[in-house]
Amino acid sequence: MAGNTFGNRFRITTYGESHGRALGVIIDGCPAGIDLDEAVIQKELDRRRPGAHASDSDGTERDPKLNPATTARKEADECEILSGVFERKTTGTPISIIVRNTDQISSDYGDIKTKFRPGHADYPFYEKYGIRDYRGGGRSSGRETIGRVAAGAIARQILGTLGITVRAWTSEAAGIVCKTFDEAEIENNAMRACDGDAAAKMLDRVIELKAAGDSAGGIISCQVTGLPPGLGEPVFDKLDARIAQAVLSIGAIKGIEFGAGFEAARMAGSENNDPMRRDPETGKTEFLTNNAGGVLGGLSTGADLVFRAAVKPVSSISREQKTVDTSGNDCTISVHGRHDVCLCPRIVPVIEAMTALTIVDLYLVNRTATLS
Sites for its own copies among residues 148-177 (CB under 8 A): 158, 161, 172-173, 175
CB 50 within 8 A of CB 71: yes
Q: Which of 281, 279, 287 is nearest to 229 (CA)?
A: 287
Check residue 299 for interaction with its own copies (CB under 8 A): yes
Interface pick for its own copies out of 232, 348, 352, 355 (rule CB under 8 A): 232
Check residue 52 for interaction with its own copies (CB under 8 A): no
Which residue, 67 or 215, has its beta carbon nearer to its own copies?
215
Nearest 5 degrees, angle CA 79-CA 83-CA 84?
115
Torsion of CA 217, 300, 26, 138, to 10 degrees: 20
Q: Which region, judged by CB under 8 A, interacts with its own copies, from 4-12, 36-44, 47-55, 192-200?
A: 4-12
Distance, CA of 15 to CA of 70 (rounded, Å): 23
Count CB atoms within 10 A of the CB of residue 151.
31
Q: Which region, judged by CB under 8 A, interacts with its own copies, from 42-50, 56-64, 180-188, 241-249?
A: 241-249
Q: How far is the CB of 140 from its own copies (least distance, A)?
A: 4
Q: How far is the CB of 278 from its own copies (least distance, A)?
A: 5
Which residue, 56 or 257, has its beta carbon nearer to its own copies?
257
Strand partners, 332: 322
Binding mask 65-104 vs its own copies (x if CB under 8 A, - otherwise)?
A: ---------------xxxxx-x--x-xxxxxx-x------
Strand partners, 311: 218, 253
Q: Which of 76, 25, 23, 22 is nearest to 48 (CA)?
A: 76
Q: Which of 354, 351, 346 is nearest to 191 (CA)?
A: 346
Distance, CA of 93 to CA of 150 (rounded, Å): 17
Segment 102-131, which members bind its own copies (CB under 8 A)? 116, 118-125, 127-131
Q: Which region, judged by CB under 8 A, interacts with its own copies, from 38-46, 189-197, 240-248, 345-353?
A: 240-248
How many residues bind its own copies (CB under 8 A)? The answer is 159
Nearest 5 degrees, angle CA 345-CA 62-CA 26?
60
Interface pick for its own copies out of 46, 75, 77, 144 (rule CB under 8 A): 144
Interface pick for its own copies out of 66, 324, 334, 338 (rule CB under 8 A): 324
Segment 176-215, which members bind its own copies (CB under 8 A)? 209, 214-215
